[in-house]
Structure 1
Amino acid sequence: MAWQLHYTSTRRGPTGRAGFQFVAETPGLPEGARAGVTPYLSYRPPPGAPLSPEAHELDRFPVALLYDRVAGRPLLLRCRYLGRDYSGRYGNFFAHAVVAEEEELEGLRPAELWHAPLWNDGPLDGNGAALPLLEEFAPGAESDPEFLAEWLAGQGKDPYGLLAGLMDAVTEVLKDGHGRVVLVADDVEPIARWIAVVSYSLPVAAAAGMSFVTYSADPDAAAQRLVGTTPDVWASSQRQAGHAFHLDEGGSGGHAPSRHAPSRHARTVAACWREFDFAGLDALAELGELGGPGEAATLLSLCRGDRTVTAAEEAAVVRLVERYGERIPGWVWRELAGSGAPMGLDLALAVHARVGDGTSLAAALESAPDLAAVARIAEAGADPPGIRAAAARCVREGGAGDLPAALARVSGASRGPLLEGVLSGLAEADPGVRRAVLTGPACDALYAEHGPLLAVPSVALPVLVTVASRHPGRRVAVTADLLALRPADPATDESARALARVWTEPPSAADCLALMDAHPGAFGPGAALAGLPSRTFARIAAGGHAALCAPETQRLVARVRTVRPDPGGESARAAVAVGAYTDAVTAQRPERTAEALAALTGSGAAEGLVEDVLSTAARRLAASREPPFRAALLAAVPAGVRSRLGALWAAGLPGRARSGRSPVRAAELAQRNELIEVVLRLRLLGASEPALETWARSAAGRWLSARMLDAHFSGDPRLRAALKDLIAEARGRGE
């Protein structure tokens, strides 16, 4: 049976008084239930919430769903903020409590009731209403493991790392029987979902013993083991929790962050969610009812052929088997026998006692349905020719399955024949079958088998391209492999096309340098990578000043000039343009800067690259050089460069300073004054830039601007006289 209670602030309750009180309940409440629920009846909005929320804002207040125990019975309590009470004062909330018998929640995780239809959002009409007994607990929407796994996959940079840390923290708190784990997020919805994920990751008994609340305004005082709160609450708390996880940041914090790697149990749970392996979660829960979380995870890892199990972990499993031998599920023995994982003598004897030897390995190989089966049989010590033939047949017929798992399962003398069979099967398979087998993880696994892979070029080429696309940091190494596979006949050079796909995204300067150092012959005139430096320079040019001045950029410029991959070609011209940048922005005399800019614009490099480098140079010079230098520079550069440089400087001004309108901030005013000074000094040098002068006349010709500029140049008679001439010209032209 399950009883309900409603609690809120009302003008006139069942007893006739006003204020917070129980306003409805199920008749026949167990003795002490009402008193047991009362301490949990509170709600305080987060500090950042509106003090006087409108009706449409109430849904943004976090809902607190609490699960705990009262007098030995499960308690579920949902608190929702209502805003005003009957008197118009803010602070009212509505609490819906359910006190249930133990069997009512059998087979159900309390976290599944987050969006359950049983909850009321507000009090019923009438005082003292009789609430019905709850006959069943229907889970809420979006609470099933499939939905949660899809949701989890899209959370942050590393949701599974966060889950592993969270599982270890929760396991520690549940084991100790005290303390709490705090979940911090702006929205309560992800908190509820993380609680549900943790609940599904625990044995049923452990989940039933994990009290939680989705939102608390005082997490330091919360009695539950898993406590949700908001960042503003957490910022003002004493932070006494041993573990705190900031869900919005995808990380964890608190006074005592773990200094240890996640436990096997935590890693296994995270892997199950990552791989949508709900059977694995069920298996962990089933085994966890017999032993601790670590023993359950280790036993499941052994069943699945995990080779990372340590001797100490296996020893704990052996003790579990000895203690609960007859209660160990039958599937465990069967999976241990067929897993192919290396086992110690004690565990191997225990498995043999339950399962026996089975059929002959040769017959099993002939009927093996997929590569996983071949791998399991191979690990048992089957004949190498049979392993090779069976693996090739399965792959050729599309039965590769989880190829990485199969390769990881087999070791020793059987590994070579298995790998040979996989590679020959892929080489013989139809292109469609080959593409289906060569998934990203499969290519990673085959790339680890470097020597045998390169001996089969038709398989190696697609594998290398896939590895490079999945792991950009390996592109340099993959390039070396592709160059080694290049045939003598260019007409059949599939590796050249593969190289182009590998470097669709141009390399960094460091990667390009590494390639040129390791494979200078590939950069000669007409060679496979001759044009790659030019694409690297384009990437560098788009990165701004820091990228252009980086030491590796300068080293690449020097290297291209030394190797000369395409004398006079695109890469050489790009190197001239990029190399000119440093000369331009570091020169101490304007004449030298002018020479560098002329070299840049006259380099013949791609127009986009030249424009990027020149724009960056213009910004840098505007920020680092005084007006006299800039004016002398404009006077020294060719007219075309002068025009482009002047346009870039004018375009770099903030909008109001560029248009001459007021008011203008102090910093913007200084930028405008400097550029006008450049124009004036350029006139004094006997040169001009028509477009820049047009802008200067417009900016200086307004009455207020003229007054301000006159005051600005009052200390320099020559500039002041030039300004008056400029203003007179503007007014004479009606500008």
Structure 2
Amino acid sequence: MAWQLHYTSARRGPTGRAGFQFVAETPGLPDGTRAAVAPYLSYRPPPDAPPSPGDAELDLFPVSLLYDEVDGRPLLLRCRYLGRDYSGRYGNFFAHAVVAEPEELEGLRPAELWHAAHWAPLPAPGGVLDPLEELTPGSALDPEALAGWLAAAGPGDPYALLAHLVDAVAGVLGRGHGRVVLVADDVEAIARWIAVVSYSLPVAAAARLSFTTYTADPDGAAQRLVGTTPAVWATAQNHASHASAFELRRGAPDFRASRFARTVAGCWRDRDFGGLDALAELAPPDDPAREGAAALLALCRGDATVTADEEGAAAELLARRGTAVPGWVWRDLVPGVPSMGLGLTLAVHARAQESGAADLAARCELRVGELVSERLAGASRLADVVEAAGVAERAGVRVGPGEVAASAARCVRQGPAGLKDALTSCPAGLRDALLDGIVTGLADAGDRSSVLTPENCDLLYEHAGRLRAAPGVAVPVLASVGRRRPGRRIAVTAELLRLDGGEAGAVDAAVREVWAAPPSAAECLDLLDACGPEPPPAALAELPSQTFARLAGTGGDGLTDPATLRLAERVRALLPDGRAARDAALVQAYGMAITAGAARAARALESLADAGGATERLAREAFADAARRLSLRPPAFRAELLAAVPAPVRARLAARWTGELPDRVRAGRAPLRGREVERRNELVETVLRLRKRGGAEPSLEAWARAAARRWLAAKQLDSHLARRPELRAELRDLLAEDAR
């Protein structure tokens, strides 16, 4: 049984409220069904649709048929645009949802229900809907009708387009994520293409192919196969997110589709639905072996165009499936074994062993042994070595690791090698031998640059332990990985420091290359931890200073981060002498300067000002930022601070504080903005408080006289100091000194 729900905008629904809501449903809905269906209930017209359509124009709006799964049950949802709602506003639509038990779709492909009789054109009155005892597909999308339509479809070659579409859908199903977008003005055409693709899949795979015939948001659609219009597609925000998008009016892409997809298209061209069933029996489209299935079907039908690679894929499929291979395959293949290549010979060998055909298995083993030795001896590419090793493993023929290593070394010495495919494809028992041969070949090669590409360096790094015996190979590999992958820099550095027998200069240069970009404080701490209790080498001892300098250039917040302060403490303990220690002390002084009381802050500022031997940039920016932060403290604190620092530091602070004021504040021009007035008044108050404490800073006093000289400024300062008569008196004295 299947349950139905109707959803639209109504003046008064079952709950008595107005607006979009469920207006009818089948009694006995499973718990949570409404909530599960609700996220799918939307419809937005294409941007080029008439904004105020008349009744005759409503049929031109695309109908959306959506198929997905909610709470383990199939959901079929049909939406059509209704135009105006009960209040006369446009934007209303009608959604008819069907939620079924999985067995209700057994043997059906959801796309068959495009023109099913149960779809209602308008909401049902009364609020109660009958259950659907059976989901009956419409007749317009049966395979024969679709084959006839496909033959006349255009533009271009519809079968080439179908092949590319099958490849795209197979990729999405195989990955388990992503979507394929179909773009056309005619939603009927989109529905037919979806149906053709669905019939090209086994029933189980079609059940996993969620789709929608139309959406105005292809970027946000959760379905695997998504239809939309050219106008929508033209305004999509992120076309790059769609690796597979097909504008049906433009026909097929230029590149060649896979044999599997071409075979599917050929079956439709010939109306060979039995061929589609045979493909499904051999391998579903989301199986990586689908190319082998297509090649195997071609071989069984005597197709002479099967390439050696495709024959190998077919053989791999036979070997992998074993006794699960349908009997008709063996019937059609076995008589032709004497003329087959190695791959199929191996597959037949495996079958002979399973069936107890000892003589046939023995003859296959002899042949395989000969071919493996020949291939290893004549191999010019690592792929040849790996293929021969794989052949031996599958046939149970033993091959010596030394033979594999020697062959691999020779291949690498001859030029660039496909390391990724080789290391990935090599049998596990021979992978170390292959890797040893690769490293030996690289160590002997005069020019390694063509082989040590970034990708290959990443692959070799995964086996860093086996590189230690060849420092000439290990150093460039580790330097490449560390330079490009910041997250691995610490581990790479540890490997570089473990190398024996390499040139110290080369290792030191590699370390500097890896750490060309200064680390974060936390990363620098981890690096020092990885180096152990001993002081790090010179190339690493420089890094804390670079880290501190970079953090000082970001506004100072980084210098007070707990990780930065821990790094400073660690550096002073691990490297008590030298620039790094002086920079670490400067960082600690900065933290004290901006957080401590006036007396301790004064001592810290004195250290910042007298940072001999520290990194010049760090000292300069740390003092400048500390002065900036301290300029925000209350006047009483600043006066106490100025009184406590030596005269040179006081003058430097005064220059920073007045220099940070806007030009119009420094020049005393009026009118000033509220915060500018406040900053001027507070700095004048600081000068006055400093004088009350018996201190003086000539540059600040000169600035204060100039700032207080104007009539408006005097009035504002008088108001600011209204509750501080002693400071008013001090201001009069300051101005009187100017008069003298």
Shorter-chain TM-score range: 0.5 to 0.7
- Taking a change above 3 Å as real, the CA distance of residues 505 and 709 of structure 1, as seen in their structure-2 partners, is same
Normalising by structure 1, what TM-score?
Answer: 0.59
Q: Is the 8 A contact 1:400 1:437 kept in 2?
A: yes
1:391 to 2:382 alignment: no
Partner in structure 1 of residue 594 of structure 2: 585
Q: 1:535 to 1:397 in 2, by over 3 A?
A: same
Q: Does 1:716 align with 2:693?
A: no
Deviates more, 1:413-422 or 1:347-356: 347-356
1: CA distance, partners of 2:733 / 2:176:
74
With over 3 angstroms needed to count, the CA separation of the structure-2 counterparts of 1:364 and 1:288, relative to structure 1, is: same
Q: CA deviation at 1:373?
A: 2.7
User: Structure 1 residue aligned with 2:629, among 602, 620, 623?
Assistant: 620
Q: How far did residue 456 of structure 1 move?
A: 1.4
Asked if 1:299 is matched to 2:288, the reply is yes
2:420 is matched with which residue: 404, 426, 439?
A: 404
One-letter amino acid of the structure 2 residue matched with residue 684 of structure 1: K
Code of the aligned partner of 2:683: L
8 Å contact from structure 2 (residues 461, 477) kept in 1: yes
Q: 1:486, 1:493 within 8 Å by CA — same for their partners in 2?
A: no
1:396–1:425 Cα contact (<8 Å) kept: yes
| CA displacement at 1:510 relative to structure 2 | 1.9
Give the aligned partner of residue 677 of structure 2.
Answer: 669
Q: Could you tell me how far 1:282 is from its partner in structure 2?
A: 4.9
1:650 alignment partner in structure 2: 658
Secondary structure of 1:504's counterpart equals coil
Distance apart, 1:597 and its partner CA: 1.1
1:296 aligned counterpart, secondary structure = coil
Measure how far apart 1:283 and its partner are.
Answer: 5.9
Q: Give yes or no for contact 2:493–2:511 (8 Å, CA) kept in 1.
A: yes
Give the alignment partner of residue 477 of structure 1, picking from 485, 491, 504: 491
Out of 503, 521, 524, the residue aligned to residue 515 of structure 2 is 503
Q: Of the candidates 557, 577, 582, which is equivalent to residue 573 of structure 1?
A: 582
Classify the secondary structure of the residue corresponding to 2:449. Answer: helix
Match status 1:634 vs 2:642:
yes
- Preserved contact between residue 627 and residue 656 of structure 2 (Cα < 8 Å): yes
Give me the whole-angstrom Cα distance separating, in 1, the residues matched to 2:284 and 2:570.
57
- Report the Cα distance in structure 2 between the residues aligned to 1:174 and 1:649, rounded to whole angstroms: 69
Q: Any gaps of 5 or more consecutive residues in structure 1? A: 1-6, 10-18, 22-31, 45-69, 72-99, 112-159, 185-190, 217-226, 231-245, 252-265, 270-276, 304-316
CA distance in 2, matches of 1:444, 1:612: 39
Question: Residue 284 of structure 1 contacts residue 297 of structure 1 at CA under 8 Å; is this kept in 2?
Answer: no
Paired letter, 2:506:
E
Please state how far the C-alpha of 1:620 moved relative to its aligned partner.
2.4
- 3-state SS, counterpart of residue 514 of structure 1: helix
Alignment correspondent of 2:474: 460
The alpha-carbon distance between structure 1 residues 422 and 8, as it changes in their structure 2 partners (threshold 3 A), is: closer
Higher radius of gyration, 1 or 2: 2
User: Secondary structure in 1 aligned to 2:541?
Assistant: coil
Would the alpha carbon gap of residues 8 and 35 (structure 1) be closer, same or farther in structure 2, given more than 3 Å must change? Answer: closer
Separation in structure 2 between the aligned mates of residue 597 and residue 692 of structure 1, nearest angstrom: 18
* 1:301-380 alignment, distance < 5 Å: 330-331=306-307, 333-336=310-313, 343-346=320-323, 355-357=344-346, 360-380=371-391
Q: Aligned pair in 2 of structure 1 residues 335, 598: CA closer, same or farther (>3 Å)?
A: farther
C-alpha deviations, 1:339-397, integer Å up to 9, x for none? 79993535899799673348702222233332223222222225433322221122111
Question: Is the CA contact 1:577–1:601 (under 8 Å) kept in the aligned structure 2?
Answer: no
Q: Report the alpha carbon displacement of residue 440 of structure 1 after superposing the two structures with TM.
A: 1.2
Unaligned residue ranges in structure 2 (runs of 5+): 1-47, 64-80, 84-113, 116-149, 162-171, 183-193, 195-205, 246-252, 266-275, 335-339, 347-367, 393-398
Match of 1:439 in 2: 453
- The Cα shift of 1:447 comes to 0.7
SS at match of 1:523: coil
**Letter of the 1:105 counterpart:** P
The alpha-carbon deviation at position 326 of structure 1 amounts to 5.1
SS at match of 1:435: coil
Alpha carbon RMSD of aligned pairs, Å?
5.1
Q: Percent identity between the aligned chains?
A: 36
Equivalent residues of 1:541, 1:612 under 8 A apart:
yes
Amino acid in structure 2 at the alignment position of 1:473: G
User: Which residue does 2:238 correspond to in 1?
Assistant: 247
- From the superposition, tell whether residues 571 and 404 of structure 1 become closer, same or farther in structure 2 (CA, over 3 Å): same
Contact 2:490 2:530 in 1 (8 A): no
Amino acid aligned to 1:334: E
**Alpha-carbon displacement from aligned partner over 1:142-194 (angstroms, at most 9, x marks no partner):** xxxxxxxxxxxxxxxxxx9xx9854179899994554655548xxxxxx8xx9
How is 1:492-571 mapped onto 2 (pairs within 5 angstroms)?
Answer: 492-520=504-532, 523=535, 527-564=538-575, 567=577, 569-571=578-580
Q: TM-score, normalised by structure 2?
A: 0.59
Which of 675, 680, 687 is matched with 2:688 structurally? Answer: 680
Mapped partners of 1:609, 1:283: distance in 2: 64
User: For the Cα contact (< 8 Å) 1:710–1:723, is it kept in 2?
Assistant: no
Structure 2 counterpart SS, 1:425: helix
Q: Which residue identity lines up with residue 632 of structure 1 in the other structure?
A: E
Query: Once the 2 structures are TM-superposed, how far is the Cα of residue 483 of structure 1 from its aligned partner?
Result: 0.9
CA distance in 2, matches of 1:341, 1:635: 90
Partner of 1:700: 708
Aligned match of 1:429: 445
Residue 426 (structure 1) shift? 0.8
**C-alpha deviation, 1:557, in angstroms:** 1.8
Deviation at 1:324, TM superposition (A): 11
Pairwise CA distance, 1:700:
3.0
Q: For residue 629 of structure 1, what is the amino acid of its counterpart? A: F
Measure, in 2, the Cα distance between the counterparts of 1:544 and 1:586: 16
